[in-house]
Structure 1
Amino acid sequence: MIDTIFFDLDGTLLPMDNDIFTKGYFKGLVGKLAPYGYDPKQIVDGVWRGTAAMVKNDGSRPNKDAFWATFEPFIPNWNPAHRALTDTFYSEEFREAKRFTGENPLARPLIDTLKRDGLHVVLATNPLFPANGIETRLNWIGLTSSDFELVTTYENMHYCKPNPKYYTEILEMLGKKPEECLMVGNNTDEDCAAAQAAGMKTILVTDCLINESCTPIETYKNTTFADLYAAIQSCL
């Protein structure tokens, strides 16, 4: 019996176009680091390289370590003390990136209702961000990390979507079986195909659909966010 619901964040609980959001918030990150003599293009390229290293992580180290081990050598004259600047950015300036996302007044009521129903909820966002960056994005939709039994971050995870081992790692952390959990997300590959490969049932939320593999959405149980509660109930 399913008693635990995994939620993706970007494009699921938090409406957004990933490209618009990424380009927008990168400007802020570059603006934070450029005054210290770093080339903006190298910073952006370095972030993408670090992100790729996290996506390819084989479980041997936390995603955070995979990122910095790739990013720092790529940036000429990088000062490791400036990691603190990025921490500050995700706690403070990153808040301004809210303008690159949408509103979702239904997110908080849905999470509260599921918990009142006795279900466990997990924020299974791709762990490419530090915890404070995820906390900031949750705040935009009236939620906090304390609303979830687990929030996946680049500090506490060793894999990323679309690797099915990302989901297996969460299951191990929770002590849950795949058949006890349901993954809800907007990405056919990262949220549905990968979670199903780990043995979980899934629901595809179509409001901000990402379908790079051009998979017929009928392949997966799918719904709009407005009808998500009913779709979840039908899986229990």
Structure 2
Amino acid sequence: MLKAILLDLDGTLLGNSMELFVPAYLEALGGFLAGHVPPRRLVTELLNATRLMAANDGTGPTNEELFASAFYPALGRERAQLEPVIRRFYAEEFPKLRSLTRPVPEAPRLVEWALGRGLQVAVATNPLFPRTAIEQRLEWAGAGLQRFPYALVTTYEAMHACKPHPAYYREIFSLLGRQPEECLMAGDDWGADILPSTGLGCRAWWVADPTAQPPAA
């Protein structure tokens, strides 16, 4: 019996092309921290640290701690020095990126439907961003935390693996207290959302154009 639904964020609950969003995000972050770190160097080291998070296998530190262990030393800056500036970026500049996204009218209705049937609802977004960036994007989607009592939101502060690593999904099942067979993953990315979750026995719903075909294996 279905007990929980896992919902991807970007491209599922929120219309957001990461091919457009990520470059704009990096440019904005680099500009905001330019007084502390040259923008090109900041972006290079941020991407290097992000690749480390993407390879996290669930057996070590959180994604946040793994990121910090690489990012700040590579910049030659103390974490305590830059973190307050980065927090200000998310409070002051990150909200301006909302214009690159669009709400999906069906998204809040889907969450409401699932909760109304007693299902646990988890926001299963790739945990490469801090919690504030995910909470803001949920608000942009009309499905914020003040509106819906999610059972779980996967942030880089809490998680120990990323999509498409199976450890990411195993951690979700464990945190929800569910077996894979009791869950359904809904997402737009075949390789990150559908294949790894179904490979563990989870059901899945591919959010795609009706004429789309799964990529060839």
Total equivalences in the alignment: 212
Contact 1:171 1:178 in 2 (8 A): yes
Aligned twin of 1:215? 215
Q: Which letter does structure 2 place at the counterpart of 1:42?
A: R
Q: Is the aligned partner of 1:158 residue 2:160?
A: yes
Aligned twin of 2:43? 44
Aligned twin of 1:136? 136
Q: Deviations over 1:184-223 (max 9, x none)?
A: 000011100111122211111015xx99xx715xx9xxxx
Contact 1:14 1:101 in 2 (8 A): yes
| Alignment partners' CA distance in 2, 1:169 and 1:61 | 13
Q: Which letter does structure 1 place at the counterpart of 2:173?
A: L
Contact 1:91 1:133 in 2 (8 A): no
Three-state SS of the structure 1 residue aligned to 2:5 is: strand
Q: Which letter does structure 1 place at the counterpart of 2:21?
A: F
Aligned twin of 1:2? 2
Aligned twin of 1:101? 101
Q: Deviation above 2 Å: which 4+ runs of structure 1? A: none
Give the CA deviation at 1:91: 2.9
Contact 1:165 1:198 in 2 (8 A): no
Aligned twin of 1:121? 121
Aligned twin of 1:175? 177
Contact 2:63 2:161 in 1 (8 A): yes
Identity %: 38
Q: Which letter does structure 2 place at the counterpart of 1:194?
A: P
Superposed CA RMSD: 1.9
Contact 2:8 2:187 in 1 (8 A): yes
Aligned twin of 1:187? 189
Contact 1:94 1:133 in 2 (8 A): yes
Three-state SS of the structure 2 residue aligned to 1:202 is: strand
| Alignment partners' CA distance in 1, 2:202 and 2:105 | 28
| Alignment partners' CA distance in 1, 2:121 and 2:151 | 6
Contact 1:182 1:200 in 2 (8 A): yes
| Alignment partners' CA distance in 2, 1:152 and 1:91 | 20
Q: Which letter does structure 1 place at the counterpart of 2:109?
A: P
Q: Deviations over 1:67-126 (max 9, x none)?
A: 111111221x32322112112222331111111112212211221122112222100000
Which structure has more relative contact order (CA 8 Å, sep 6+)? It is 2
| Alignment partners' CA distance in 1, 2:53 and 2:92 | 24
| Alignment partners' CA distance in 2, 1:145 and 1:49 | 31
Q: Which letter does structure 2 place at the counterpart of 1:52?
A: R
Contact 1:63 1:159 in 2 (8 A): yes
| Alignment partners' CA distance in 2, 1:191 and 1:90 | 26
Three-state SS of the structure 2 residue aligned to 1:35 is: coil
Contact 2:56 2:63 in 1 (8 A): yes
| Alignment partners' CA distance in 1, 2:48 and 2:34 | 18
| Alignment partners' CA distance in 1, 2:198 and 2:85 | 38
Q: Which letter does structure 2 place at the counterpart of 1:44?
A: V
Aligned twin of 1:53? 52
Contact 2:62 2:160 in 1 (8 A): yes
Give the unaligned 5+ runs of structure 1.
220-236
Give the CA deviation at 1:32: 1.4
